[in-house]
Every structure is written in structure tokens, then in C-alpha cells.
Amino acid sequence: MTSLGTSVGHGNTIISSEEYGLALGNHLIVDGYQSIAVGSESKATADWATAIGQEAIAEKVGSVAIGSATKAVTKDGVALGSYSVAKRAKGVTGYLAGENTSEVWKSTLGALSIGGGEYNDTRQITGVAAGTKDTDAVNVAQLKAINQKMDKGAVHYFSVKSEETGERSNFNNDGAKGIESMVIGIGSTSDGNNSTVIGKNNTLTGTKHLRREGKEVEINNSIVAGHNLEVDGYCNSVLATDYEDDTFHGLTKVAGDYNTVLGAG
């Protein structure tokens, strides 16, 4: 036993050259400064590690294992409940964090685990009050409340059905390239500032340089609605589509400024 270490029970071993180790139980191993093992056949083998239970293991600095056959194998990790394993280290970025790297989005300590292990055990956490701060847990009641708010503000009588998800499909809502432009539709794009494009596979390009309040601005000011339209120019109004039969496929293409086009092909 080291100086100032304490052992109560049978077959315990405090083997560190450090001090203040504590073993309470039977056949315990304590090897670390101020490390604690309580129970039977548990091991606390790092500084400030705590292992409590039957065959609990805490093997990294500051780790905690509480429960039968629990394991805390990462620094400052916490394994809580029988068969739980804490192995996820600090520094993991959370889901949907994007470019955020603060402590709200990126962990600063090892994870708390209430399951895992060889059989990927899981548990429900019950009796959780609704969270308040950014780093609080969210409960099911809060998620239900979000759904209710979304339902009240949901868009109705609008639907889009397509299997197109590739580049330039607008699946990721990226068809509007121009400033203050709006694109609604599958495979449609707009490079024109202050423009509106509605429909399938429409393309709008073109820019006019104007001076407003002493500043030069680039603007398009076109409205395009229909299918398979190619429009290039400033201040165009196009409501059209393509035409196709067994022998002919006619496309509507508009070039120039101040055009008004209605028709097919």
C-alpha cells in the first residue's frame, strides 16, 4: 500500500507510487493518484479515476465507471449503468454544427455513456425536464411542441414530386444564383439578379449595368415561367413551354431585352 492510501476489504491492491488511493471492497486494483475503486473486482488504473461496482473499469485520467461491468476507456469519460462503455473522446463535433466550434457544438470532455458495449446496449432516459440553455438536454415534449408550431405554419396545397437530385437539379435549393433572385422548380436556375424563375428545366442569364443613387448595380429584372426555357437578357417576361410530338421537338429560346413571350416551342 502507498503512503496515505486506504484499503478496506479483502484482496485489494494499491500499486501506484502516488498517494491517496482508495479501495473499498474485495479484490480491487487501484493504480493512480487519488483514484478510487469500490465494490468487487473493479479497477481504477489512472489518476483521479473512479470505478464503482462489480468488475467496473476506469482506465483513463479522470474517467468514471459506475455499475456492473462498466468501462470508461477515454479521458474524463463517464460510463453509467451496467454494461455501459464510455469510449468517445472529447473534441467531437455535433450533428448539424456546420462551422460552429464552440463548446455548445463541440465537446470539451469525454462523453457520458449509458449503453454501448459489445452488444450495443441502449437505454431510455426518463424523468427529464425540458431544457433551457443551449447545452441542456431536450425532451420529447419540446420536440412535440416544435412539430405543433411547424404544423400551424406549414405550407398547404403545394407539392413537388421528382426523383432528380443531381447537380443543377435545384434539389438542394441552390438554383437561385443571382442576388435577390427566386427559383421554384426542378432543374431550373437563375444567374440574374432580382429575377423570378418558375417551372422545370428553365435557365435565366443576363445582366444589365445601371447606376442607382450614384452606384453601379447589376440587375436582370426578368420573370420566367414554364418548361425547358432558355432566356438571356434584361427585363424579359416569358410564359411558355416547349413543344414535342413524334417527329419534332420545339424549344422556346429568348435573347435580348424587354421581350414579352407567350407560347410553345
The mean per-residue pLDDT over the stretch 223-242 comes to: 95
Q: How far apart are CA 44 and CA 18, in angstroms?
A: 13
8-state DSSP, 130: P
**pLDDT tens profile 8-49:** 999 999 986 667 999 999 999 999 999 999 999 999 999 999
Q: How far apart are CA 40 and CA 29, in angstroms?
A: 10
Q: What pLDDT does residue 18 have?
A: 64
Question: What Cα–Cα distance (Å) separates residue 66 from each residue in 30, 69, 109, 159?
Answer: 15, 9, 18, 52
Q: What pLDDT does residue 2 have?
A: 45
Q: How far apart are CA 61 and CA 83, in angstroms?
A: 20
- Total residues belonging to the chain: 265
In percent, how much of the chain has pLDDT > 70? 98
Q: What pLDDT does residue 1 have?
A: 46
The mean per-residue pLDDT over the stretch 204-233 comes to: 91
Q: What is the mean pLDDT of the chain?
A: 93
Q: How far apart are CA 261 and CA 174, in angstroms?
A: 26
Of 59, 77, 63, nearest to 113 by C-alpha is: 77
Whether residue 57 contacts residue 70, with contact meaning beta carbons closer than 8 Å, is answered with: yes
Q: How far apart are CA 90 and CA 132, in angstroms?
A: 23
Of 66, 83, 154, nearest to 119 by C-alpha is: 83
